[in-house]
C-alpha cells in the first residue's frame, strides 16, 4: 500500500481508512464479547470503544501499510473472570472475524442494491470496496488455527480438555514461528499461507462483489 502514497495519494488515503476501520471493528468486537461474558478487563483498559486510537498498534499498523502484514493492539481478557474459560475465550476470539464478515456483508448489500444501480455515487463505491475487501481479508487470515491469531484460540476452545492443553502449550511456544514461516514467500514466490487462503478470500469476494473483477 505504501507504494501508492506518492503515485496515488487518494487511493492510499482510502485504503488506509478502510484498514483502520477493519481493525477497529475487529478489536472492539473482541472487547464487547469479553465484557458481555463477564470480564471487565477490556472496559477498564479503555478498549470498549470505537475510537481507532484505542485499538491501533503503531508498529503493527505501520507494518500493514509497508508490507501488508501487521496487527492491531490485542484485546486482553482475564480467563478467571469467565464462567467457562476455554469456551468463552473461543467466543471472544471468533467475535473479531465474525464482526468483519458481518460488516463486509452489510456494506456489500448496501453497495450492490442501493449504490451501484444508481450510478452517481462512484466516490462512495470506491471507499466501500476496499472496506469490504479488507474486512474479508482480516477475517479469513485471523481464522488460521495458529497462535497468536484468533483461530488458534478457537481451536483450543473446540478441542477436548486434555488435547487442548497440549495444543495450547505447543502454540504458545512455536505458533509465532510457524506463522512467520507460512507468511513469508519462498524464493520470490507467493506466500504459502496466502496461496491457501486466496481461494477462500476470492470465493467470498465473488459472492459479495460479483461485478468487481480487479480484486
The residues annotated with a catalytic role in the active site are 27
- The backbone torsions φ and ψ at residue 14, rounded to the nearest 5 degrees and listed phi first, read -65, -45
Number of DSSP helices (H) and strands (E) in the chain, helices first: 9, 0
Distance in angstroms (rounded) separating the CA atoms of residues 61 and 65: 6
Neighbours of 72 (CB within 10 A): 24
Q: Please, are residues 111 and 127 in contact by the beta-carbon 8 Å criterion?
A: no
C-alpha to C-alpha distance for 150 and 64, rounded to whole angstroms:
18
CA distance 48 to 35: 8
Helix (H, G, I), strand (E, B) or coil at 1: coil
- Rounded distance, CA 90 to CA 87, Å? 5
Q: Is the Cβ–Cβ distance between 150 and 171 less than 8 Å?
A: no
Counting every residue, how long is the chain?
215
Amino acid at each position: 500500500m505504501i507504494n501508492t502514497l506518492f503515485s496515488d495519494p487518494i487511493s492510499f488515503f482510502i485504503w488506509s481508512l478502510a484498514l483502520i476501520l477493519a481493525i477497529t471493528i475487529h478489536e472492539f468486537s473482541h472487547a464487547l464479547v469479553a465484557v458481555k461474558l463477564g470480564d471487565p478487563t477490556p472496559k477498564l483498559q479503555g478498549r470498549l470503544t470505537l475510537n481507532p486510537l484505542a485499538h491501533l498498534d503503531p508498529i503493527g499498523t505501520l507494518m500493514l501499510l509497508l508490507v501488508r502484514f501487521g496487527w492491531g493492539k490485542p484485546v486482553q481478557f482475564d480467563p478467571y473472570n469467565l464462567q467457562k474459560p476455554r469456551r468463552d475465550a473461543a467466543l471472544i476470539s471468533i467475535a473479531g472475524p465474525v464482526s468483519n464478515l458481518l460488516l463486509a456483508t452489510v456494506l456489500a448489500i448496501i453497495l450492490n442494491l442501493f449504490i451501484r444501480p444508481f450510478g452517481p455515487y462512484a466516490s462512495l463505491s470506491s471507499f466501500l470496496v476496499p472496506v469490504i475487501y479488507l474486512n474479508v481479508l482480516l477475517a479469513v487470515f485471523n481464522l488460521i488455527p495458529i497462535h497468536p491469531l484468533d483461530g488458534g484460540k478457537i481451536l483450543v476452545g473446540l478441542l477436548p480438555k486434555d488435547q487442548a492443553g497440549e495444543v495450547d502449550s505447543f502454540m504458545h511456544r512455536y505458533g509465532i514461528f510457524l506463522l512467520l514461516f507460512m507468511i513469508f514467500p519462498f524464493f520470490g514466490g507467493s506466500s504459502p499461507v496466502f496461496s491457501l487462503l486466496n481461494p477462500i478470500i476470492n470465493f467470498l469476494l465473488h459472492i459479495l462483489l460479483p461485478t468487481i473483477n480487479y480484486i
